[in-house]
Structure 1
Amino acid sequence: MKYSVLKYLFIFCFLGVGFTAYAQVEQDSVQLDTRYLEDQFYFGVGYNILMNRPDGVVQRNLSYNLQAGFMKDIPFNKRRNFGIGLGVGYAVNSYYSNVVATETNSVVSYEIMDQSMFNRSKFELHSLEIPFEIRWRTSTAEDYKFWRIYAGVKLGYVFSGTSKVVTDDGNHKFSNNDIEDFQYGLTFNFGYNTWNMHAYYGLKSLLEDGVALDSGAPLDFQVLRIGLIFYIL
């Protein structure tokens, strides 16, 4: 009888110790979760709108944006729903219009052409980007569906900028040094869960100062971008 009591007492103590250890592990996991980070990888698609177009300049086809990158999430408060994000990314942007660029002896000229004279004409930019955001969201350690408002600035270095025109006779593409190497602008991202609106307004002209049409009208294009951005951990 005494042996049975001791046996059950031993089993009870063993289970108690095991339960305590398990509870401690669970508690530690919860404590680790309170250090969560959000929205560290992003990718997006958008439509580029050329602003400040001279008379007669119209956009053609789909002027698209593709972007992807990594953001370091840096919360400031205990709840971790307010802070900043600093990152690095890559983007490709195409701008289709009826402005045709041609290069002769390293000199680039620009003219407005009738659509019947060509199929497509575009500027294409490949850029390394550094986004900076002030971040607010309604997230918690347990809730993965939340509202977010991120506003900030984005700096971009254009490492490849080309002009291309497609006609019935073939393609003509060249590296266009008139494209501004450094781009920067304001960003605003807003949404819930998966679907988030992205907006970018360029503060720098797409082309360098002094670039003009053959008519003399300056080409001071600025970019307004509207699209969707998606975040994952």
Structure 2
Amino acid sequence: MQKLFQLLFLLSFLNGFSQEKPDFEAVDSLYREDQFYFGITYNILNHKPEGVSQNSFSAGVDLGFLRDFPINKKRTVAIAPGLGLSYKNYKQNLIIQEDNGVINYSTIATDAPFDKNKLAMCFVEMPIEFRWRTSTYDSHKFWRVYSGVKLSYMFYNKSRYIATDIDYKVSNNPDLNKFQYGAYVATGWNSWNFYAYYGFQNMFKEGTLNGKPLDMSTLNIGLMFYIL
């Protein structure tokens, strides 16, 4: 008899559960979008001093996590602070050389052959975005316009110039600004999003070339991918 009561109770519970309609409004009120991001960029030097030019492809990679906080009932508008990492590589003709603790800057002669000349930087980044999208809780294909600002802290940098019988390496150049900041926008449909970042801070806080300060900043353009 006890087993019969247990069986009836179980059937009653399952029947009640099966008849309960899902609360789509509750689901819709809780969903969040685009928590992880991954980007690939082409890096452009702005305000280059006379004689400085870029060559080859200067690539960058961004990745991180953003916490989505919707601020309207439809959850199509949100604020998203985050934390991430980025790698920026600049291939150009600016030679960085250290001599007895002093950093000197020059440019590669136009007709001088060389094997490599680049400046690489690694950052911890803290972005905050204002988000607009046409998303719903049951569809991940939608239009988006995400704009924001981010503060970046450089924890490592390295430059290297290699030519015939020459190999200059400088790590953690003190002339570079450790703290940099700028604004960005990411917009697109579904997985494909155009991305652009404009740096407001000069890359160099010290250093001159031909008696003029190195007041270069950066413009990064590319693609950004968002993942739930």
TM-based fold match above 0.5: yes
Three-state SS of the structure 1 residue aligned to 2:147 is strand
Quick one: distance in 2 between partners of 1:35 and 1:199?
A: 30
Note the C-alpha offset of 1:99.
Answer: 0.6
In the alignment, what sits opposite 2:88?
A: 93
Identical positions, percent: 41
Kindly tell me the number of residue pairs found equivalent between the two proteins: 218
In the alignment, what sits opposite 2:152?
A: 156
Alignment of structure 1 residues 94-133 onto 2, 5 Å: 94-114=89-109, 116-133=112-129
Q: Deviations over 1:84-105 (max 9, x none)?
A: 1100000010111111010001
Quick one: distance in 2 between partners of 1:154 and 1:40?
A: 16
Note the C-alpha offset of 1:170.
Answer: 5.8
Q: Deviations over 1:25-66 (max 9, x none)?
A: x51476234311100000110000000011221101211110
In the alignment, what sits opposite 1:228?
A: 223
Quick one: distance in 1 between partners of 2:177 and 2:19?
A: 59
Please say if 1:43 is aligned against 2:38. Answer: yes
Quick one: distance in 2 between partners of 1:181 and 1:227?
A: 23
Q: Deviations over 1:4-34 (max 9, x none)?
A: xxxxxxx9xx98874541242x514762343
Please say if 1:183 is aligned against 2:180. Answer: yes
Note the C-alpha offset of 1:199.
Answer: 0.5
Unaligned 5+ segments in structure 1 are: 1-10
Q: Deviations over 1:62-121 (max 9, x none)?
A: 111101000000000111110111000000101111110100011001001125242221
Quick one: distance in 2 between partners of 1:168 and 1:85?
A: 49
- Give me the CA root mean square deviation: 2.0
Report the CA distance shift for 1:170/1:54 in structure 2 as closer, same or farther (over 3 A).
closer
Give the residue type in structure 2 aligned to 1:182: F
Q: Which structure carries more helix by proportion? A: 1
Pick the structure with greater CA Rg: 1
Do 1:161 and 1:177's aligned partners in 2 also have CA atoms closer than 8 Å? no
Three-state SS of the structure 2 residue aligned to 1:27 is coil
Please say if 1:204 is aligned against 2:218. Answer: no
Quick one: distance in 2 between partners of 1:109 and 1:180?
A: 16
Do 2:103 and 2:207's aligned partners in 1 also have CA atoms closer than 8 Å? no
Quick one: distance in 2 between partners of 1:184 and 1:21?
A: 53
Do 2:87 and 2:120's aligned partners in 1 also have CA atoms closer than 8 Å? yes
TM-score if structure 1 supplies the norm length? 0.87
Quick one: distance in 2 between partners of 1:205 and 1:110?
A: 16
TM-score if structure 2 supplies the norm length? 0.89
Please say if 1:134 is aligned against 2:130. Answer: yes
Q: Deviations over 1:117-175 (max 9, x none)?
A: 42221211010000110000000111110000011101100000121112233643222
